[in-house]
């Protein structure tokens, strides 16, 4: 009997030694999603929502069927070369790369987290493109390498192409880190493996898109493309999700069926359109 107790103690010590400080991060990275019929928030108020809201926000779907609207483009676009405080931890392929300033701050935070894991050879090869620039790219490179103006996520200011100074992202350590960890910082791999039939775009390990938490966590947990996630929200109407100890409520509203939506009476929330026909309200519970 004593022999078995001793073996059990040694096993527990060994497990604790093997995982060390990894146990807490693992629990923090756990994502719990609960689907339920829409019940709304405990204390709510109703606000008016117009159809223009469908085309604004961080969850907009952009593809061949759903084009970028003028009001969809981020208003805080900056030239990264003019903001060294935003680029001190990664390189730029050229000096003309533009990006949403808020998005650049989130990307910098993510790159700094990667450095703590010993991954530090990132660069940005492309960011925001205006419609004219996108059109020139499409004319020069053709449909196999570029999308028409208005049909590319790069026209939003929410997407960027990330490279590595050490090689192709398909095999570079930076590419593997992005695929495994970008979701923790609000980014998703927009065109993942085995989703070409859904997205219409082949696997691109370099193209990431900002959607914010908790959405990036749910997409990662369920191995979804953005198209699938928006369908999922439309189907379930309301979900709750716990990420890193925080609980969120995500509600979907079809704007064609309502002129008002419910939002928390107290506390912060965000509203994003989907560029299809609905809006999504996200609140920390």
Residue in this structure with the two tokens 């900056």, named with its chain if needed: 78
First to last CA, the chain: 49
Q: Please, which residues have CB within 8 angstroms of residue 55's CB and are 6 or more apart in sequence? A: 69, 71, 72, 273, 275
* Strand residue runs (E) in 14-164: 31-36, 44-48, 77-79, 91-92, 98-100, 122-126, 159-164
Q: Would you call 234 exposed, middle or buried from its count of C-beta atoms within 10 A (0-12, 13-18, 19+)?
A: middle
Active-site position among 173, 204, 227, 242: 204
Catalytic status, residue 29: no
| Residue in 203, 177, 183, 179 with CA at minimum distance from that of residue 191 | 203
Cα 91 to Cα 72: distance, rounded to the nearest angstrom: 28
Q: Please, which residues have CB within 8 angstroms of residue 65's CB and are 6 or more apart in sequence? A: none
Cα 91 to Cα 166: distance, rounded to the nearest angstrom: 12
CB count in 10 Å sphere of residue 276: 17
Catalytic residue positions?
204
């Amino acid at each position: 009997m004593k022999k078995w107790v001793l073996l059990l103690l040694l096993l527990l010590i060994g497990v604790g030694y093997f995982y060390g400080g990894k146990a807490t991060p693992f629990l923090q990275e756990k994502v719990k999603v609960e689907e339920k019929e829409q019940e709304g928030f405990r204390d709510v108020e109703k606000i008016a929502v117009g159809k223009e809201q469908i085309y604004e926000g961080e969850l907009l779907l952009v593809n061949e069927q759903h084009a970028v609207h003028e009001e969809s483009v981020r208003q805080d676009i900056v030239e990264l070369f003019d903001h060294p405080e935003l680029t001190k931890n990664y390189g730029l392929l050229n000096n003309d790369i533009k990006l949403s300033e808020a998005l650049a701050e989130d990307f910098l935070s993510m790159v700094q987290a990667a450095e703590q894991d010993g991954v530090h050879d990132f660069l940005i090869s492309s960011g925001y493109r205006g419609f004219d620039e996108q059109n020139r790219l499409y004319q020069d490179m053709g449909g196999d390498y570029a999308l028409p103006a208005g049909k590319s996520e790069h026209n939003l200011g929410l997407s960027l192409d990330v490279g590595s100074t050490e090689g192709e992202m398909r095999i570079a350590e930076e590419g593997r880190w992005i695929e495994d960890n970008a979701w923790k910082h609000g980014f998703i791999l927009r065109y993942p493996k085995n989703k070409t039939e859904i997205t219409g775009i082949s696997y691109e390990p370099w193209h990431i898109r900002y959607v914010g938490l908790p959405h990036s966590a749910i997409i990662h947990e369920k191995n979804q493309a953005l198209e699938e996630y928006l369908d999922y929200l439309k189907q379930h109407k309301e979900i709750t999700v716990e990420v890193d100890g925080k609980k969120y409520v995500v509600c979907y509203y079809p704007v064609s069926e309502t002129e008002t939506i419910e939002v928390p009476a107290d506390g912060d929330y965000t509203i994003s359109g989907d560029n299809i026909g609905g809006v999504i309200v996200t609140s920390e519970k």
